[in-house]
Amino acid sequence: MPRAPQALADALQSTFGKKLSSCVTTHGQVCLEVTAGDLPAVALQLKDDPQYDFQQLVDLCGIDYLGYGKADWETSERTSSTGFSRGVQAQIHVDSGHPCGVRFAVVYQLLSHQRNQRLSVRALLDGDPPIIESVNDIWPSANWFEREAFDLFGILFSGHPDLRRILTDYGFIGHPFRKDFPLEGEVEMRYEPEQGRVIYEPVSITPRTLVPKVIRHDQRFSGGEGGEAV
């Protein structure tokens, strides 16, 4: 039988103590927060300890906290005082990030089939480049998930047996899910018939800023002749 979320949170607090940066329950989901250094030991115990028995890693993803808590544009009643211009010029706040002062994190979604229970574990990464130990030896399903986080966020997983890109091309430069990566990208590719191969060129996309609301005076939506617009 699954334990109540708060009962699970209390048990985790008792087991791991100071290894947990935080342990909160939100919307019926328990989420742990640990440092990158403590993650391997915590992960192994979560899998092997019979009182937890989280045998399956369902998902793993990266997080970039650059600009965390800051908006790229202001909105009020569907209008904007600064313009919807992120597609043209990103408003990145380099001084903002996770409250703990780190930019990157990795989140692990765990499942216990025996107890029909789920758990989120978030590991904060402190360093440049961001690096954390691979959990591939603990949960083999982490293999491709870690490659995806490396490809899209540039997070390195030490001990991974084959850490290489999985979604972008072999010659791709940069990491597309980082907040400071341009929305239109850096380069584009096409097949060149004369050379008989794929070539890369500077991106030719012209950024467009779309205004989501345009107020027009229209008789169909007025209160009659001389009336106020609805």
Which of 159, 132, 134 is closest to 145 using CA atoms? 134
Mean pLDDT of the chain: 83
pLDDT at residue 14, rounded to an integer:
93
Domains of the chain (ranges, CATH numbers)? 5-215 (3.30.460.80)
pLDDT (mean) for 16-33 = 92
pTM for this prediction: 0.78
Per-residue model confidence as pLDDT tens digits over 34-79:
999 999 999 999 999 999 999 999 999 999 998 887 765 555 554 4
Average pLDDT value for residue range 100-116: 92
Pairing state between β 131-133 and 156-158: parallel
What pLDDT, in 10s, does the model give residues 109-125? 999 999 999 999 999 99
pLDDT at 157: 98
Q: How confident is the model over 160-195, as pLDDT tens digits? A: 999 999 998 877 888 999 988 887 788 888 899 999
